[in-house]
Structure 1
Amino acid sequence: MDALTWTQGSSPRRVMIVDDEDLVRASLADMVELSGYQVCGQAANGYEAARLIGSAHPDIVLMDIMMPTMDGVEALQIINATRPTCSLIISAYCSPGLLEQVTRAGAQGYLMKPFRPSDLVPAIETALAQFERSRLSTEIDRIEAFFERAWSQASAGSSIGRALEGALVEACGLIEETGYVLVVRQGARMRALSVRGVKGISPGQTLGPADGRLGVALQRQGICRSHLIGAPSDQAAVLSLQVALDDGVLGCLCLLAPEGYSFTRREECLLRAMVRGLSTFLFRVRESRPHAWNMWLDRRLGRAPVARRRR
């Protein structure tokens, strides 16, 4: 797990189409695919849409309003209560009251039927941008809360490692299909200080020489996208960012995902938020509990404890 090659590129946005008219769904599907998106699912009413949302994993739902069985407003309420998803209303009906209803239900935009194909892409992209800004802000707030809770636990005397790993696990849970490893440079070697969801790596394990390609990535101050040649296929894609753990101890927080996974700009922002939260947590712990911090770091790095001057 040491040779790196750089990867880039992304898959097309996934679109679910919900409309009770077969011809409308077919026409929308053609427009969507000709515009460069991928149709990941279709539904004839709100009930079907709510049932399929978990398996289709759309980036955006094009939702009609007036449908049998379950209308678009009720469907959005159910969907956003369980799996918040970007949505664009596509309907021939519009009124101030209806606009208020769909906005409350979580829709990011409204496109009136009939419309031209050239209207679809701007409407989709505007809705996606609005949804992602709102989602990212909420997720960053949650990451800050995870590390603030970890600090409260550690400052009250709880295990530093348990508090730290709890925050990292919760933060990484915001990104599907990923595990993490907190890598530390120790002399000429690198070790895993903390790890979760990554097969074949345990805390304290030596990962490779510090002058290898992974070591070079650890030295980079910005976001590093890489591909681990020879790694298991479920942890070959890596997104990493440097973090200072202690005086003279340089670390790197790495998110690992399956082969072919393309990390997004959102996930880069989340990694930066994780590193900010992690850095603040570590600084506060080092200042308030230096002895406990040094003991934990010594155990994880397998180094002999040494006498240290009190801070």
Structure 2
Amino acid sequence: MKSVLVVDDKPDIRSRLAESLMKYGFTDILEAENGQQAIDMTQAHHPLLIVMDYIMPVMDGITAAEIISKKCPAPIVLLTTRADHATIEKARLAGIANYVVEPFREDQLFPAVDLAIHHFVEIAHLRQEVAKLKETLESRKFIEKAKGVLMQQGLSEQEAYRKIQRMAMNKRKTLTEVAQAILLTQE
């Protein structure tokens, strides 16, 4: 189910946005009137996309986007009457993926939505890849230190690595787990 959260304090704009986004292929349209409701609904429903007005009562769209980006990241398209550099920079720093200047037209909304979703997915993949690389690097550090301990006991570098591999296979543990155990025995 493709869900989208439409956030605007004006019901007529929410209705127009909902209608346009249904044409784009969204099947579940959630609505909120202000930034605080947007935060609450995002945490409860995890929409695929958020289209949010900037100027609203209770909490503005940029402040809400900043909180959403930290708590429950989602691609966000901002609707705004402002296109000045300061507003755009504030929006970028808050985690907003794209914006549409009001009054919006469908032919402006669709590319903004498409780019926001694809940009968000690409960033999410890159974050996963970075996390995996960090984990690999940390594992490698443990293995290198464990090899160093075994080499101090008279093994060559290759022999030390093979010993760690054999221990991991025999005990059905990862190389990192074996390396950490070797290091613990040296403390």
Task: Give the TM-score normalised by structure 2.
Answer: 0.77
Match of 1:137 among 96, 116, 126: 126
Question: Where does residue 23 of structure 1 map in the other structure?
Answer: 12
Q: CA deviation at 1:288?
A: 4.7
**Secondary structure of the corresponding residue to residue 50 of structure 1:** helix
Question: Where does residue 149 of structure 1 map in the other structure?
Answer: 138
Question: Where does residue 170 of structure 2 map in the other structure?
Answer: 298
CA distance 1:129–1:290, change in 2 (3 Å):
same
Question: Where does residue 181 of structure 2 map in the other structure?
Answer: none
The aligned length equals 164
Name the CA distance, whole Å, in 1 between partners of 2:135 and 2:67: 27
Contact kept? 1:15, 1:41, Cα under 8 Å: yes
Structure label with greater radius of gyration:
2
Question: Where does residue 104 of structure 2 map in the other structure?
Answer: 115
Question: Where does residue 259 of structure 1 map in the other structure?
Answer: none
Q: CA deviation at 1:99?
A: 1.2
Q: CA deviation at 1:296?
A: 2.4
**Secondary structure of the corresponding residue to residue 146 of structure 2:** coil
Match of 1:77 among 16, 41, 66: 66
Percent of counterpart pairs with the same letter? 24
Task: Give the TM-score normalised by structure 1.
Answer: 0.48
Whose helix fraction is larger, Structure 1's or Structure 2's?
Answer: 2
Name the CA distance, whole Å, in 1 between partners of 2:108 and 2:146: 58
Please give the residue correspondences for 1:1-311 in structure 2 after superposition, counting only pairs within 5 Å: 12=2, 14-157=3-146, 288-300=160-172
Q: CA deviation at 1:120?
A: 2.0
Contact kept? 1:108, 1:130, Cα under 8 Å: yes
**Alpha carbon RMSD of aligned pairs, Å?**
2.4
Structure 1 stretches of 4+ with a deviation exceeding 6 A read: none
Name the CA distance, whole Å, in 2 between partners of 1:121 and 1:99: 19
